[in-house]
Homo-oligomer: A and B are copies of this chain.
């Protein structure tokens, strides 16, 4: 038996055929989104804007699944008739305005060119004002709404984006019958759902991005939404009453798409989850394991048994029951930019894509602290633990002799310090982290970064066995649904693995220096992040010089 995981990333979609008995991967097939700049529609006047054309998703769906099947057919024993389920994961929060028939508005020629009618990609930050207002209104009127998402509602999220659309593109808002998260929309399309209110939406997106909780009866009440705008209160009826965890199916494959893809009609489609959540499953997340998906940005996922009580953790994006695994609280944290910072530095600033390898090699020769530099990893704001998009990058310690490689290493270290801040915060609130499993291209290809992460966090860094952990997790979910395994735990045991023989262990000598640097990082973090409003930073430059001098001693 086989299942297919379909993973919608920021620039491309990939389909992965997986054998349910042992997790063997037959694929994957990757299709780049054809529209915009690397699949993203931009506005040169506003760097906060990032949209995506929904037509790209459908085109990519057909092309990637067909290509994956074509590849799988080369493997012994494969037959498309043996595909027993599909799972989908996507970026998010990436809401799409749809019409009464669940057609994405941008697929209608009238709205095709309108940026507000597209999918509002996760990294779109145009709604930071609305997010701040939601935070303020919730703090005043419904503090429990935001207590579970770190007391701050983000500009990346569902309501802020829809409210911003209402504010800047009222005609688009009026034309939209409903708004659907990309992770719910693709399964609904595969299932042939033609009424958006009938879509079986996942609690992952609902709980993490739309203030949904069974505790208060689902989505935010109308009275609260009316405080934002009465039109958002009206919209509530056209969204959903209940959201579901991965214990249930989003639907079954409709005849039309079955024919298009060459798959059996009626096979179950897993509830849609965000890429990192299925990625966590595909990386073997269990209680005590933190999964870090390290890419352009980073998402950190953990789970805690739903039988336990989990306190709200300040600054953690969300603690949502069933968001990752059924029967567990899902805990999500993240850094708004990691790979994107290195990419900006090397390609945007130094303008030479080939320098990545050279600078990595040079940076690897440097000792911790040797550069005298310290950076904040906030070039794209801070998601966890400050939840503030209006923060920016910082570099301190430059002399007239600072080199390219020194800055490169300082930027890697900055993201490691950000990762440590997250781990420390989660632990502070009683959630144990016993091991860290990393997934994503950077985790696989950059031993320097992995060693720095180990040295900075003090945790051994393991690497997920699959390069397609997100798609694999979606395929795991489909396999459980199709009864190929009795539950997620046994499906994960059979279908997921760690990269054999790879474990980056903290080196004591490096840890000592990084503890000193992390203390300085926290001084900057707390001061520029507004945690400490009477900071003494007079030691920063001198301490960096002293640490640097000590590495030469």
Interface positions of A (Cβ within 8 A of B): 45-47, 337, 340-341, 343-344, 348-351, 372, 378-380, 390-404, 407, 527-530, 533-538, 540-542, 544-545, 552
B404 & A541 in contact (Cβ 8 Å cutoff): no
Known: A536-B534, A541-B392. A344 touches B400 (CB 8 A): yes
Chain B residues near A533 (CB, 8 Å)?
536, 538
A537 & B540 in contact (Cβ 8 Å cutoff): no
Q: How far is the CA of A390 from the CA of B396 in the complex (A)?
A: 13
Q: How far is the CA of A528 from the CA of B535 in the complex (A)?
A: 10
Q: Is the interface of A mostly helix, strand, loop or mixed?
A: mixed
A402 & B349 in contact (Cβ 8 Å cutoff): yes
B541 & A535 in contact (Cβ 8 Å cutoff): no
Chain B residues near A407 (CB, 8 Å)?
349
Known: A392-B545, A395-B394, A552-B45. A400 touches B537 (CB 8 A): no
Residue of B nearest to A380 (CB): B400
Chain B residues near A402 (CB, 8 Å)?
344, 348-349, 379, 393
Residue of B nearest to A538 (CB): B530
B399 & A398 in contact (Cβ 8 Å cutoff): no
Sample (21) of A-B pairs whose CB atoms are under 8 Å apart: A46-B552, A47-B400, A47-B401, A340-B400, A343-B400, A344-B398, A344-B402, A349-B402, A378-B541, A379-B400, A380-B399, A392-B541, A394-B395, A395-B396, A527-B527, A527-B537, A528-B537, A528-B540, A529-B538, A534-B536, A537-B537
Residue of B nearest to A407 (CB): B349
Chain B residues near A45 (CB, 8 Å)?
552
A393 & B396 in contact (Cβ 8 Å cutoff): yes
Chain B residues near A545 (CB, 8 Å)?
390, 392
Q: How far is the CA of A372 from the CA of B537 in the complex (A)?
A: 22
B396 & A394 in contact (Cβ 8 Å cutoff): yes
Pick from B343, B390, B394, B534: contact of A398, CB below 8 A: B394
Q: How far is the CA of A534 from the CA of B380 in the complex (A)?
A: 27
Residue of B nearest to A352 (CB): B351
Residue of B nearest to A373 (CB): B392
Pick from B530, B537, B541: contact of A390, CB below 8 A: B541
Q: 13 extra interchain contacts, Cβ-Cβ under 8 A, other than A47-B399, A527-B535, A534-B534?
A: A45-B552, A343-B400, A344-B399, A344-B401, A378-B541, A379-B398, A379-B402, A392-B544, A393-B402, A395-B396, A396-B528, A529-B538, A533-B538
Pick from B348, B351, B393, B398: contact of A393, CB below 8 A: B398
Q: How far is the CA of A541 from the CA of B45 in the complex (A)?
A: 20
A372 & B392 in contact (Cβ 8 Å cutoff): yes
Residue of B nearest to A391 (CB): B541
Pick from B46, B344, B536: contact of A535, CB below 8 A: B536
Chain B residues near A538 (CB, 8 Å)?
527-530, 533
A392 & B401 in contact (Cβ 8 Å cutoff): no
Q: How far is the CB of A335 from chain B (nearest CB, A)?
A: 13
